[in-house]
Amino acid sequence: MKPPAPLPRSGSKKGRAAAFCNLPLLLLIGAIQFLVIYSPAIDRYMVMVTKGKPGFPSLLLDGRRGFKLVEEETIPEPRVRCDFADPRSDVCELEGAIRIRGSTSEVFVVAPAGADGLLAANVTGLAPGMNATSWTIQPYTRKGEARVMRSIATLTVRVVAPGDAPPCTVRHDVPAVVYSNGGYCGNYYHDFNDNIIPLFVTARHLGGEVQLLVAQKQAWWFHKYREIVDGLTNYEAVDLGGGDGGGDGEEVRCFRRATLGLHSHKDLSIDPRRAPRNLSMVDFKRFLMWRYALPREHAIRLEEEEAAGAARRRPRLLVVTRRSRRRFVNLPEIVALAEEVGFDVTASDLMSASAKNKAAGGVGDEGHSRMADASKLVNSFDVMVAVHGSGLTNLVFLPMNAVVVQVVPLGRMEGLAMNEYGVPPRDMNMRYLQYNITAEESTLSEVYPRAHPVLLDPMPIHEQSWSLVKDVYLGKQDVRLGVRRFRPVLLKAIQLLR
C-alpha cells in the first residue's frame, strides 16, 4: 500500500498555483465588502466623473482626441471696482474669472449663480444709469476730450454665467492691464502724459509680473520706448487689434485679475497719495535713470564746487530749439547772454539722431536711437530753457536739483503752462522758473496792429474755441526774447544751483 502523497510545501510551485486559483474568489469577496461599505461615496464620485464638478478633475470623452483630463476652474464670486467719476480716465479693477477676447473687444466676468438664481457679482463704482451686468469703457486717459475719444477703442464688459463665457484658449498666471495706444500717440508730450506715466502708476508696483493687452497698438511706439516698457513688464505686449499689427486672432485670454484703463492723476505727474505704494515722480525719475543708464542723479552744486577749492566748473545750460513755430528767432543773442552770465551753453532740438546712431541703427530704429541720445544729453545739463511745447517733456531726464525755465508765449497761456510743465519739475525735486513774454517779444506784434485784441485781450479768443487759440497763439507765433529783461531769470537760475 502506497503512503499518502505529501501536502505541497509553502513556496512550492503547486502551493503557488493553489493560492493563485483562490485569488479571484478573494478579490470578489473584497469587492462585495467594499461596495457595501462605500456605496454612497462611490455614487457621488461617479456623478463627478461623468458630469464634472467645479474644481474637480472630470474624465471626458472627446471623439477627436480620445480621453483627456480637463480641470475646470473654480468660479469665485467676482469683484469689480470701477471709477467713472475721475475727470481724467475711467478705470475698472476686476478680480475673479476674467476672460478677454480682443477680436470682439469684449471682457467677460464669469459669475456663479446665487441662491436666488441670479448671477452673484460684487460690482461698484459704475456711473449712474449704467447696467451692472453689461457696460462699456474706453481705456484712454483723455476722457474729457470728445474729439479724440471718438477715435479710441471701446471695450464691452459683460457679467455672464459660466456657460455663456467663451472657453479659454490661453491662461495667464499674472494680472492684465488693458489700455489703448491710440489717441495722441506720437506726440512726445502725450506719449509721456497719456501713456507712459499712467502705465507706470498702474503697473510698476507689480514688479514686471503683468501682461499688457493693448488696443490700437502701434509697434513703432513700443520699439521707440522699449526700455521703458521692458522695465514695466516681463512679457511681450499683446496686440488686441485696431493698430498697425494683426491683432490677437480669436484668442480668449483668461486671468484672475485685470485692470481696464490706466490711472492718471495730473499733467505729467503723479499724486503719491493715490498711487500704489505711494509712487511719486521722484520714483519715476529714478526709474528712467535705471532704464536709460543715466549717470547724473543730482545737478551741480556751486557752493560745493567753490568749497572744494578746485577750478570752478561752469553750470551747463541747454536751450531747446524748435523746428516749427514758437522758435527763438534771436537764438545767438540768447546763447551769448547765457555765456556772459556764467553758463556753458548748448542749443539742440533733441530730435535728431546722432551720426553714430544713424550709422548703427537699422530700419525703423530712428525713434529708439533718438530716445537714447536725448535722455543722455539732457541728463548732462543743469538748466534747461525752452518755449512752451513738447520739447519741455525732456525735463524728465534732467538730474534732480536742476532748473527748468519755461518761456510762455503771448496769449494768456500762463495757467496752462504752469499745469503742464510748472508742477512736474517741483514734483521731481527740481526748481522751476517761468518767464512770460510781452507783446513786444512776440512776432505776432509784427502781424497785428499794436491795439489789436490778439495782442491786448486774448480772453475772447479763448472763449470762442481752443482750436482758435492753438491756431493763433501756438501755431503762428515765434519768440524774440528781450535779453535785458531775460537776464535776471538766468541769474536766478545760477542762484538756485548754489
Residue 375 belongs to domain with CATH number: 3.40.50
Nearest Cα residue to 272 out of 205, 220, 208 = 205
Pick from 230, 245, 278: which residue ends a domain? 278
245 and 362 assigned to the same domain: no
Query: 40-44, 121-125, 185-189 — which is least confidently predicted?
Result: 40-44
Pick from 211, 246, 278: which residue ends a domain? 278
254 and 310 assigned to the same domain: no
Positive or negative, the Cα torsion across 243, 220, 245, 211?
A: negative
Q: Using alpha carbons, list the distances in angstroms from residue 492 to 193, 342, 356, 431, 432.
A: 29, 12, 37, 11, 10
Residues 6+ apart with CB under 8 A from 15: 8, 9
309 and 380 assigned to the same domain: yes
DSSP, res 346: E
Would you say residue 123 lies in a domain? yes
Would you say residue 130 lies in a domain? yes
What is the per-residue burial (b if ≥16 Cβ within 10 Å, else e) of 109-118?
A: bbbbeeeeee
Tens digits of per-residue pLDDT, 4-14? 334 344 344 44
218 and 350 assigned to the same domain: no
376 and 468 assigned to the same domain: yes
DSSP β-ladder status, 238-241 and 170-171 = unpaired
Per-residue confidence at 71, pLDDT binned at 50, 70, 90? very low
DSSP, res 208: B
What is the mean pLDDT of the segment spanning 129-149?
A: 96
Would you say residue 35 lies in a domain? no
What range does the domain containing 162 cover? 79-278
269 and 306 assigned to the same domain: no
Q: What is residue 326's predicted lDDT score, i.e. its pLDDT?
A: 95
Would you say residue 2 lies in a domain? no
Tens digits of per-residue pLDDT, 412-441? 999 999 999 999 999 999 999 999 999 999
274 and 296 assigned to the same domain: no
253 and 324 assigned to the same domain: no
Would you say residue 181 lies in a domain? yes
Tens digits of per-residue pLDDT, 383-414? 999 999 999 999 999 999 999 999 999 999 99
Tens digits of per-residue pLDDT, 312-365? 789 999 999 998 899 999 999 999 999 999 999 999 999 765 544 544 444 446
Q: What is residue 244's predicted lDDT score, i.e. its pLDDT?
A: 78
Would you say residue 24 lies in a domain? no
Contact between 160 and 108 (Cβ < 8 Å): yes
308 and 252 assigned to the same domain: no
Would you say residue 62 lies in a domain? no
Pick from 222, 252, 278: which residue ends a domain? 278
257 and 299 assigned to the same domain: no
389 and 440 assigned to the same domain: yes
Question: Considering its fold, how many domains does the chain have in total?
Answer: 2
385 and 250 assigned to the same domain: no
Would you say residue 25 lies in a domain? no
